[in-house]
Amino acid sequence: MKTKLDEFQFKNPRFLLMYSALQFGPEEMAKPDGSLSLPYLAGAIREAGYDVKILDVSVGDKDEPLEDSFFNTKVLPSGLIRCGMTPEKIVEQMADFDVIGISSIFTTQTTMVLDLIRLAKRTDPSKLVIAGGVNARNMRDRFFKAGVDLIVLSEAERIIVQIAERCAASEAFPRCPASPSSTRPARKSSTAAPRRSRTWTSCRCPPGTCCP
Ligand code: B12
């Protein structure tokens, strides 16, 4: 059975891996994410023969002045301060890519990451938007509500290459089998409806991932 995920087919998928803008309190100092996740993933993607670029929205593209990103600050309705590239500049950067991968390991930056996901999906829904990292994994529902197409639940060096290969080969994504035990029967004495088990071995998403 084909699902929405299978509609993402690109002849030679190009990946843009992103860290979001940052938000911080007036008394705090902004610290770019700069975690190892995206360089590791970019290495795996490149080794498999696909184009990939990393963009940290909080510090901008190489050769771009920091005044347009890290020192470009704006007070948010929450009172926190946002620093990073403008949405217009981010959209320009996304234009050349088919797959947008966003890392989220820090809960304090959730709003910034969700904004980035919404921006990507609003600008071009035909792009495949993937998220990963411990925060994306833990806040799946909020990420799906923002429009993300797929969340990778673990280390992703292999999965990201499998995703590239699926998109390029125009093949349906593999699915975890929907096991009959995914619906636990209600206890005899209980009138409650059976509870759905949401373990990822019993979902219908590609193995190691979660989809809406
Ligand atoms: C090393 C580390 C640090 C280092 C380096 C941080 C950095 N910016 O890189 C230092 C010591 C500086 C640090 C500082 C802090 N850290 Co720290 N840190 C870690 C630690 C131990 C490992 C992170 C790491 O490098 N992993 C290795 C990389 C390769 O793995 P990864 O990021 O998980 O990425 C893989 C997958 O998640 C996935 N993935 C990730 N992103 C994406 C994106 C896509 C598209 C896909 C497909 C897959 C994917 O694929 C990746 C490759 O396999 C984690 C705990 C943990 N075990 O994850 C805490 C952790 C991330 N840190 C944490 C915290 C709180 C902080 C600080 C805020 C502490 C403080 N109060 O100052 C600061 C923030 C500094 C900053 N802004 O960078 C928390 C975050 C909790 C949260 N939910 O917000 C964590 C989870 C620890 C914890 N359990 O409390 N940290």
Does residue 137 sit within a domain? yes
pTM of the model: 0.90
Does residue 157 sit within a domain? yes
Give dist(CA 150, CA 102) in Å, integer. 11
Angle CA 19–211–174, to nearest 5: 110
What pLDDT was estimated at residue 2?
66
Model confidence at 6: pLDDT above 50: yes
Does residue 86 sit within a domain? yes
Model confidence at 50: pLDDT above 70: yes
Residue ID of nearest Cα to ligand 1 atom 58: 134
* Residue 1: band (very low, low, confident or very high) from pLDDT cuts 50, 70, 90: low
Does residue 48 sit within a domain? yes
Compute the average pLDDT of residues 82-97: 97
Query: What rounded mean pLDDT belongs to the chain?
Result: 88
Does residue 198 sit within a domain? no
Check which CATH number belongs to the domain holding 8 and give it: 3.40.50.280
Please indicate whether residue 53 or residue 193 has the higher confidence score (pLDDT).
53
Q: What is the pLDDT of residues 113-153, one digit of tens each?
A: 999 999 999 999 999 999 999 999 999 999 999 999 999 99
Model confidence at 78: pLDDT above 80: yes
Residue 31, number of CB atoms within 10 A of its CB: 10
Give dist(CA 84, CA 91) in Å, integer. 13
3-state percent breakdown (helix, strand, coil) of the chain, nearest 5 = 35, 20, 50
Compute the average pLDDT of residues 3-14: 88
Domains in the chain: how many in total?
1
Domain residue limits at 68:
4-173
* Residue 212: band (very low, low, confident or very high) from pLDDT cuts 50, 70, 90: confident
Compute the average pLDDT of residues 190-197: 46
Look at residues 19, 52, 45 and name the one whose alpha carbon lies nearest to residue 33.
19
Q: Which amino acid is at 118?
A: R
Does residue 193 sit within a domain? no
What pLDDT was estimated at residue 118?
98
Does residue 199 sit within a domain? no
- Going from the Cα of 109 to the center of ligand 1, the distance in angstroms, rounded, reads 12
* Residue 195: band (very low, low, confident or very high) from pLDDT cuts 50, 70, 90: very low
What pLDDT was estimated at residue 179?
44
Cβ < 6 Å from ligand 1: which residues? 31, 33-37, 40-41, 101-103, 105-108, 130-135, 152, 155-157, 160
Model confidence at 171: pLDDT above 90: no
Using the atom order of ligand 1, give the atom closest to the CA of residue 17.
45
What pLDDT was estimated at residue 197?
40
Q: Which amino acid is at 178?
A: A
Q: Which amino acid is at 43?
A: G
Does residue 24 sit within a domain? yes
Q: What is the pLDDT of residues 180-193, one digit of tens each?
A: 433 444 444 445 44
Residues 164, 13 contacting (CB under 8 angstroms): yes
